[in-house]
Structure 1
Amino acid sequence: MKTLLLLPVLAVAGAMTLPEPRLAAPPFDQPDMVRVAAGQIAFRPFGSFSQNGKARNPRRSALTVPGFEIMKFQVTGGQYAACVADGACEPARAVPPEAPQTGVNWNDASAFAAWYADRTGEPWRLPTEAEWQLAAAERYGDSGAEYEAADPGAQMLASYAKGISLRTKADPGLYPAGAFGLNSKGLADVAGNVWEWTDGCMQNGQLAPDGTVAETDPYCSVRITGGVHRAAVIDFVRDASVGGCAVGLPPDHLGFRLVRAERPPAPTA
């Protein structure tokens, strides 16, 4: 008889909906964000390509990039310190709380993105290489020789000349966020003196007769950074100015900013 009396109580208890677990409070104030509308860029992968047995850079191709939200400023020392205090990030170079966090490698930046996404329940991640180029707008830099420079010597001279020209804009000093002003999209400090990690990988492949990429194989132990010029940096390197830059001129400082968006489908031509 007692068992029968308990059945309605158990049925009611089983029908109750338990409250969903609440996310922890955000570790810092919501960062300022910039909405970048979908747009088209002239893109070429960064890496080592050959055509008819000779090294050659790919021809640029038009790519359409979906819209996304991106941090107006690079991740600061204070924001990164919150991740370190939470045990989710490795300690990095000590910088003022309001300055961009530098001295971080790709793994550090990825760990921060995963931690921040977990703490906020939002899809934070590193930008794709194409997203970074679209967001950088007129400040996007590429020191690589164009496809038309077919002779290896001409390629090297063109890359060197473009790189030196772009490097005149760099400055090894350390400045607070916003010191390098805004670009036309409203992003601060793009192509200042901090190169930013993307999730792009160095590519190795073959070119078609027209100079476009026929086949490519990503080498993701080397990641692409965007800044005054693109640079390919080994993923565990925190200071590429003293070594670890796989291709091209090295960055001055390594930092990052995040995108808030689900990862987009592959860009379409």
Structure 2
Amino acid sequence: MSALSSPHLSSSVSIALPALLMLAFAGGLAFQAGLFRPATTDIPVPATIRIEPHSFTYRPAGEFYKNGFAVDAPKVEIKRTRTLDIMKYQVTTAEYDACVAEGACPAREQQTPSSLDLPATGISHDDATAYALWLSRRTNAVWTLPSDEDLAFAAGSKFPDDALGVDPDSKNPALRWLADYQREASRKASRDPTPQSLGRFGEGEYGLADFAGNVWEWTTTCNRKVTLAEGGVTASASESCGIYIASGKHRSPLSSFIRDPKSGGCSVGTPPDNVGFRLVRDNTWYSRLVFTFRHAAS
């Protein structure tokens, strides 16, 4: 029997050929859509760090209730098995202003100088999303805002724990009121809320710089209201994706259009001093293809 008539070879060819054809088809579409255009070199690519896989304890963001009372979100143990590439520093005023100059981003609301050494603040969630889209197109990479969990993974011990520390089975509302009062009293505004130069607030154990300084950071995490049953199991949950979590010294849910959190808006509790952002880079092999198809018409 010839090698070409081998049943094993025929089976392999029948499996591999459709996959190769699909890959060629996807590559053709990507080429037509401009996916493989050479990256531009006239803007600096932001410095990133790679967070290696590790396990960490995380208290999910949101408003949690049990038996009609506000309670702390149950802590969960998370094991990340993939690396995360994230900007070492927050996006700077000069980097953001380059997007403004090209008409792809709205102007900043806070009048800090345009510099590669100052974090961009006075930025809404919508503004930050526009910048991520612009940077992705200008560098031929895929950049997105991180989730709250991404920041917890990267920030390590600098990530806040917003727990009230009240027994979830207690039915005494005064205990929760007192705990909430003490927590908010400890969240006093910084003595100097003016955005500081990069590196001013140091680095965490994984190399993430300036997290939990006086600039909070937008995330893709929507604010949630969760009702817990016995054992900390979720009985029901509702999500509001017009309000996103900004993470820093503490978490703050803010409307997507808010640029100055001190003006009020939908901030709950003590508002952030400032709000800015940093991005993560998606290095999965299919990320550019998905990005191009998703934004082909925009």
TM score, norm. by length of structure 1: 0.83
The counterpart of 1:57, out of the listed 56, 72, 75, is 72
Residues 34 and 69 of structure 1 are in contact (CA less than 8 Å); yes or no, is this contact kept in structure 2? Answer: yes
State whether structure 2 residue 175 is matched by structure 1 residue 158.
Answer: no
The one-letter code sitting in structure 2 at the alignment partner of 1:82 is A
Shift in CA distance, 222/28, structure 1 to aligned 2, threshold 3 Å:
same
Deviates more, 1:45-54 or 1:82-91: 45-54
- Corresponding position of 1:190: 211
Cα offsets for 1:132-178 (capped at 9, x unmatched): 11111111113341362544332232233234335476741221111
Alpha-carbon deviation of 1:199? Answer: 0.5
Secondary structure of 1:62's counterpart equals strand
Shift in CA distance, 245/251, structure 1 to aligned 2, threshold 3 Å:
farther
Percent of pairs identical after alignment? Answer: 37
- How many residues are matched? 247
From the two aligned structures, give the one with the greater helix fraction.
2
Shift in CA distance, 186/170, structure 1 to aligned 2, threshold 3 Å:
farther
Shift in CA distance, 172/178, structure 1 to aligned 2, threshold 3 Å:
same
- Corresponding position of 1:117: 136
Alpha-carbon deviation of 1:52? Answer: 2.4
Residues 171 and 192 of structure 1 are in contact (CA less than 8 Å); yes or no, is this contact kept in structure 2? Answer: no
From the two aligned structures, give the one with the greater strand fraction.
1
Secondary structure of 2:152's counterpart equals helix
Shift in CA distance, 24/134, structure 1 to aligned 2, threshold 3 Å:
closer
TM score, norm. by length of structure 2: 0.75
The one-letter code sitting in structure 2 at the alignment partner of 1:71 is M
The counterpart of 1:179, out of the listed 183, 200, 207, is 200
The one-letter code sitting in structure 1 at the alignment partner of 2:144 is R
State whether structure 2 residue 150 is matched by structure 1 residue 131.
Answer: yes
The one-letter code sitting in structure 2 at the alignment partner of 1:157 is L
Residues 167 and 228 of structure 1 are in contact (CA less than 8 Å); yes or no, is this contact kept in structure 2? Answer: no
Residues 39 and 140 of structure 2 are in contact (CA less than 8 Å); yes or no, is this contact kept in structure 1? Answer: no
Cα offsets for 1:225-245 (capped at 9, x unmatched): 110111111111001112024
Residues 195 and 215 of structure 2 are in contact (CA less than 8 Å); yes or no, is this contact kept in structure 1? Answer: no
Deviates more, 1:253-262 or 1:209-218: 209-218
Residues 166 and 175 of structure 2 are in contact (CA less than 8 Å); yes or no, is this contact kept in structure 1? Answer: no
Residues 195 and 274 of structure 2 are in contact (CA less than 8 Å); yes or no, is this contact kept in structure 1? Answer: no
- Corresponding position of 2:51: 36
Alpha-carbon distance in 2 for matches of 1:42, 1:159: 22
The one-letter code sitting in structure 2 at the alignment partner of 1:86 is E
The counterpart of 2:165, out of the listed 146, 160, 180, is 146
Cα offsets for 1:64-86 (capped at 9, x unmatched): 23420111110000000111111
- Corresponding position of 2:90: 74
Structure 1: runs of 5+ lacking an equivalent = 1-16, 264-269
Deviates more, 1:182-191 or 1:49-58: 49-58
The one-letter code sitting in structure 1 at the alignment partner of 2:97 is A
